[in-house]
Chain A
């Protein structure tokens, strides 16, 4: 069951890459976070009803599935940003790149380089692939909103890898991370608002006027 959830997590991540409608991206991100929280619930119950992991899954559900997508959707609506106009990589390139990144992690990074680390259910590979997806996504998109989405995706991957390797970090640190990402998105939202206000665009290519 966890393996299936892990693959769903990976697939939603992969699907975000080619999609150009920002609303759909946000929905997919929420879906990915939902799978993440489900993985946490399942892991928690498998390890003999581990309260901490379940609590973390619950937090994920609240923050990442409901609050963050809500904020992002509202932002997208306010800024009338519904479509990534000029991605740096087209849908075909994106999907091919995504698949090759996944292959890289599944066939090389996790089995060869990280062979000492034992994690069940191939979760680690899914996590690392998602981190790389996030990186790629950030590189391939030009809209500021999409940068935020990419960052959250990387964060999801990091979260899952922590969960897969050690069964979650200490609670206080997890709380810190949640608070961090929540505040981060709020601040980034404010910044995006300012950017669009000042530059009349969300295209980060136009921001190089800031270069000294």
Chain B
């Protein structure tokens, strides 16, 4: 039965490898090498999608064995429901992004496209392997491969200094994360135990509670860095604007999710049930990430930075679902736990879909206008109607407005959080859960505000710059490869039941528990009601709506309309900036200038700078400290060979004196 999967798994891996290497044969013909790279990636993703479906639906895990690659270490893929789900998520996004890239990457037609294909395919390959290998050492290897490949993708336009800097921050942060992941694994490693996840899991039952807590914290920091949990998210808003947009779509949509996979695998599957405060901590971190992510997103005027901060927000929501599930597990309530985990996973898929949808739409905007600054766009809805509709779909989904998918998964997360509070374990938990719910609601509202701004300023009103004025609809191949994502948004929003009920089985495979009864969701009814309401409203207006339509210029107090009258992105977010002033600490400067009398030639200069408080108060001192210490230590690096030899000599003498036989 597994034969087909085995063949398909092998072929898909080979396809990715071919997509990485073959373009170099046609190094000179850039278009051809790009085409080969993209098509190989797309077909590989198709096959992985099949594997994902099989893994998600099959009751037993699928094994694909490739044989030993290191002594005692076997490259073996184990696709259980969890891996299957993540494979599915990865492959859907990867397939559409690869198709999209064929046209999009022509923006970079003067660059080294073979190198791009190489990194892109290795990136996909690494991601597929990260979520399927069942061996800690291989997991780390592919984890690093994923990081490196994405690093090179981020720094693809390395000639710009900002890009190099962003790549550097990304590399440092993810390496710190990897250190913590590796330490978590090493803490779990038993004496003479294997590197397999199964061996680690059986070993972890005997660990001391202190060690377990330490492992949990390490895993949280390690994977949290990759996922972009506040306060470890600082690489995200830098790396995403730097990377080509299709790459950001993959990184934000899918790569962050591999960290979620790592957390689930490590904490729920391997480490087992822990104390309730683990879940509480996750919910807290999730709430903080969600709110601060969305507030910062609201302040951005670069579309990609905005989306990057939004990723922080959504990762926060996912973490809340995950945390709720951990809490239920430690209270031994497996059914709500499974549902909470399913809610989190559902949001993983949803976020992957609408975030890559939005990123790809931003890519289309960039393709058409060569800018990502909201302030320079405007009026695009008339020039790029299809992209506008797609972007709007994504924006509605991400703001958790029914009947789209963002609502479906956030609603389940709400329910899970409320269930925590219904348990009435203690005042702290009940209140905390309610507060988390409130935070989630606040997040949704702010996200809606954020995307009203993003959509309104860039698509409505008059074009703010020549670039936006000259925009044209992007080629069909690009719109068509985005469209399935928008359709998925709607379908998953209206009929989430089959998926959620499949996802509740995921956790049953990780931790034994009773059968979860199929959930009843009424999203389709809700969608129906909404549709009906809209129809009724339209009907009522048609029937009774009084006045005839009259098409004329809007009256502007006798002055002709121009762009400067339109609401800007800055002014739109200004009220919220004022509300959250203590959190954001903007540096504001107002200067008025007038000549002779104070009402003539009146000019106001307004300048507001919004720095990152985290960087100011957390990362800057750390960085300074490290640089200081390093400079102090530099004394020993005199550059004099005699000194260096002297160090060796002294070490030798000391060792001869002090080392006793073991």
Contacts and interface: CB of A to CB of B under 8 A. Distances in A.
A98 to B, nearest CB: 13
A64 interface: no
B640 A104 contact: no
Contacts, number: 45
B642 A139 contact: yes
Nearest to B649: A135
A108 B656 CA distance: 9
A107 to B, nearest CB: 12
A113 to B, nearest CB: 7
Interface in A115-157: 132, 135-136, 138-142, 147
A207 B641 contact: yes
Contact of A204 (B640, B646, B656, B659): B640
B639 A104 contact: no
A147 B641 CA distance: 10
Contact of A139 (B638, B639, B649, B657): B649
B639 A211 contact: yes
A113 B648 CA distance: 20
B652 interface: yes
Chain A interface main SS type = helix
Nearest to B639: A208
B645 interface: yes
Interface residues of B, number: 17
B661 interface: yes
B656 A139 contact: no
A206 to B, nearest CB: 10
Contact of B649 (A108, A136, A142): A136
Nearest to A147: B641
Contact size range, A: 20 to 34
A204 B646 CA distance: 14
B523 to A, nearest CB: 62
B540 interface: no
A77 interface: no
B653 A205 contact: no
A88 interface: yes
Contacts of B648: 135
A108 B657 contact: yes
Contacts of B657: 104, 108
A109 interface: yes
Nearest to A205: B640
A147 B648 CA distance: 14
Contacts of B649: 132, 135-136, 138-139
A162 B322 CA distance: 63
Interface string A76-89: 00000000000010
Contacts of A208: 638-640
Given A136-B649, A139-B649, A109 B656 contact: yes
Nearest to A204: B641
B656 A104 contact: yes
Interface in B624-662: 637-642, 645-646, 648-649, 652-653, 656-657, 659-661
Contacts of A140: 642
A138 B652 contact: no
A129 to B, nearest CB: 11
Interface string B355-377: 00000000000000000000000
A208 B640 CA distance: 6
A136 B652 CA distance: 11
Please report whether the interface of chain B is mostly helix, strand, loop or mixed according to DSSP: helix
B645 A138 contact: yes
A135 B652 contact: yes
A127 B653 CA distance: 15
Interface in B504-551: none
A211 B539 CA distance: 81
A208 B641 CA distance: 8
Contact of A88 (B638, B642, B659): B642
A210 B642 CA distance: 14
Contacts of A113: 656, 659-661
Contact of B645 (A108, A139, A210): A139
A132 B652 contact: yes
Contacts of B660: 113
| Residue from A101, A113, A207 with most neighbouring chain B CB atoms (10 Å) | A113
B660 to A, nearest CB: 8
Question: Which of A101, A135, A142, A210 has the most CB atoms of chain B within a 10 A radius of its CB?
Answer: A135
A193 B241 CA distance: 53
Nearest to B659: A113
A135 B642 CA distance: 10
A132 B661 CA distance: 20
Contacts of A104: 653, 656-657
Nearest to A206: B640
B377 to A, nearest CB: 46
Contacts of B642: 88, 138-142, 204-205
A48 B163 CA distance: 74
A139 B640 contact: no
Interface in A187-212: 204-205, 207-208, 210-211
Contacts of B656: 104-105, 108-109, 113
B541 to A, nearest CB: 74
Nearest to A211: B639
Contacts of A207: 639, 641
B653 A139 contact: no
A101 B656 CA distance: 11
Contacts of B638: 208
Contacts of A136: 649
B637 to A, nearest CB: 8
A210 B648 CA distance: 20
B312 to A, nearest CB: 38
Nearest to B644: A139
A187 B10 CA distance: 51
Nearest to B643: A139
Contacts of B645: 135, 138-139
Chain B CB within 10 Å, residue with most, of A113, A139, A142, A210: A139
A140 B643 CA distance: 9
Contacts of A108: 656-657
Most interface-central of B648, B649, B657 (chain A CB within 10 A): B649
Contacts of B652: 132, 135
Interface of B: 637-642, 645-646, 648-649, 652-653, 656-657, 659-661
Given A204-B641, A208-B638, 18 more contacts: A101-B653, A104-B657, A109-B656, A132-B652, A135-B645, A135-B648, A135-B652, A138-B642, A139-B642, A139-B645, A139-B646, A139-B649, A141-B642, A204-B640, A205-B642, A207-B641, A208-B639, A210-B639
12 contacts: A108-B656, A109-B656, A113-B661, A132-B652, A132-B653, A135-B652, A136-B649, A139-B642, A147-B641, A205-B642, A208-B638, A211-B639
Ranked 10 nearest A-B pairs via Cβ = A208-B639, A211-B639, A135-B649, A139-B646, A204-B641, A139-B645, A138-B645, A139-B649, A109-B656, A208-B640
Interface of A: 88, 101, 104-105, 108-109, 113, 132, 135-136, 138-142, 147, 204-205, 207-208, 210-211
